[in-house]
Structures are given as structure tokens and as C-alpha cells.
Amino acid sequence: MTDKATADETGAGPPATAAATTPVPYDPYDAVVLAGGAARRLGGADKPGVRVGGRALLDRVLAACAGARTTVVVAAPRPTVRPVRWAREEPPGAGPVAALAAGLRHTTAEHAVVLSADLPFLRPATLRRLLAALHGTGADGALLTDADGRDQPLVAAYRTAALRRELAALAAAHDGLTGLPLRRLTGALRLTRVPDPHASFDCDTWDDIVNARARIREHGHVLDEWISAVKDELGIDLDVDMNVLLDLARDAAHGVARPAAPLTTFLVGYAAARGEGGPEAVAEAARKAAALALRWEEEARETGGAGEGNGGPSAPDAG
């Protein structure tokens, strides 16, 4: 992420920390993703295209802000996981403030999330927290702070009117925005802060990339990461109870045979899709298949007992 500012460098008004985490209703928002940096600490590599968990970093960020009314990516166009609007600062490479201004020109919502393209652990829930924090205060913006308490102005939600006001003032004072650091913009804004060391983790170096790839394979995260990656790859926007499907797979494996687990979950998904159903249809199909698997398991126990001559219900009369 470009231009990490310390907490005491940003925010003209008294700093406020957002303690509430419960989302509140909010108006539609736009998203501006800055993806055109030089990535010097990565040796000039195409950072937005670097893969973590099988997905490009940019695509991971775009998945997190899929709820935006308009998403603007400030960079040269490239294939992405979903349609976006492209913008470019003039001249290219003019810095994050110029890039933000270029993206903001394509937004119309009262609020906008501003994001860098190197956030492997960003989630929709993170953006909801930021927007809720912004709505709950009179601040101009709400941003994440990292594990060291540093402000992360490129993981933030802002009032677009405040951004436009300060961008215009900076452009007038400096005869343009080229080369200005982000702290020159955020220093004029009243900001509220949301601590989140996980979602604020960004990939500036190859060590960061290696760390991110290792973290998503940790036992507590790997299934969520894998399901999210598969849904993005297949273009599926559906939230289902993963535990229901895992229980079904277990019942099919124990009650029928191990290969029945993946086959059964596939058939459940197919049945729900054929009926054009949502999560409820998946849950109902899983319930029926699980009940069938349990009936098979019960019959297998009864048959096994009879075969051993233990007087099961189908055992022949020994007389």
C-alpha cells in the first residue's frame, strides 16, 4: 500500500476510535481501487496480478467490494473477476492523490470506499464496518488501523463531498496533485478509526506475499478461503451453510461409501440449481439427501447383524 501514515499524522480534528462493529443501514456506496503503483519493493512486479490463494490480489479486493454501486479501478485495463470502470491519473504514475482524484470523477454516491489493490484479507464485512463507523459519527472518513496502530488511508470509507473539497483545495494550492502524499489529503479530514490488523494487512514485499499465502492455508481459514475462491472462479454469488454440506458429506461417506460424499454434494447443488433456488433450496436438498444416507446406514447395520447370525430382522429361521 502506498504512503502508510502514522496515526498522529492524519486527522485535523481530535482522533476518534470506532468501537462499534455492528453494521447499520447505509446508502449505496461507490468503490475506488488504486491499482497502478510501481511496486518497487516487489521489483516492479505486476502486484495486482500476483496470486494469493489462487486469485489475483486485485480480484480479491474486487470480490470484497462487490456490493458497490460503481467500482472504479485506477490502472491500465486488464481482465478482472467482474466488470469495473477504468480510470487513469494524468500523467500515469502521478501518485495516489492524483489517482484518487481520477477515480473519484466517476463516482456519484455520497460515500465511497477507497482501497489499494494489495489487500488479501479484505472482506465485505470489513467495508460494512467502515461504512457503519462513518454513519455513526460526523467524521469525513473512517479508516482501518493496522497491527501497529498506523492509519491505513487506502482501506477506508469517505464522504465523497469531503474528498472533492480537499482535493480541489490541494490542486489550487499546489498547481495540481502530482506527487502529493496521501497525508496531505487525509490531514485535512476528520477521521474515525477502526482497528483491524487482519483486514489491513497489505502486500508490499515478497515476504508479505509468502506470509499471506501461508496464512490462508491455516486450519481455521482454509475452507472459507477455498470456498470463496471457488465461488469467484465459477461466478457464483450464493451463501450457504457450509456445515450443512460438511455434515451431508460425512453422512454419505459413513452411510454409503467414501466416494459418495463428493458425488452427493454435487447432486444436491445440481438439484438446487435446477430449481433456481437459493440457500434455502440447498439446505432442503441437503436435508433430504442426509436423511437418505442415514436410512442407508441403518439398513447396513441391520444387514450386517443378520449376516453374522445375530438374529437381525432378516435372519433366516435356524430351525
pLDDT per residue over 64-121, tens digit each? 999 999 999 999 999 998 999 999 998 888 999 999 999 999 999 999 999 999 999 9
319 in a structural domain: no
Domain holding 199, by residue range, is 7-215
pLDDT, tens only, 158-196: 999 999 999 999 999 999 999 999 999 999 999 999 999
Q: Are residues 278 and 194 in the same domain?
A: no
The arrangement of strands across the sheet holding 111-116 comes to 16-17, 191-195, 141-145, 151-159, 111-116, 29-34, 71-74, 85-87
Q: Are residues 98 and 204 in the same domain?
A: yes
> Residue 41 has what pLDDT?
67
pLDDT, tens only, 281-300: 888 888 888 888 888 888 87
Q: Are residues 63 and 147 in the same domain?
A: yes
Q: Of 215, 248, 263, which marks where a domain is finished?
A: 215
Distances (CA, A) of 300 to 136, 282, 296, 318: 59, 27, 6, 22
The CATH number covering residue 112 comes to: 3.90.550.10
Q: Of 215, 231, 252, which marks where a domain is finished?
A: 215
234 in a structural domain: no
pTM strictly above 0.75: no
> Terminus-to-terminus CA distance in the chain, angstroms?
83
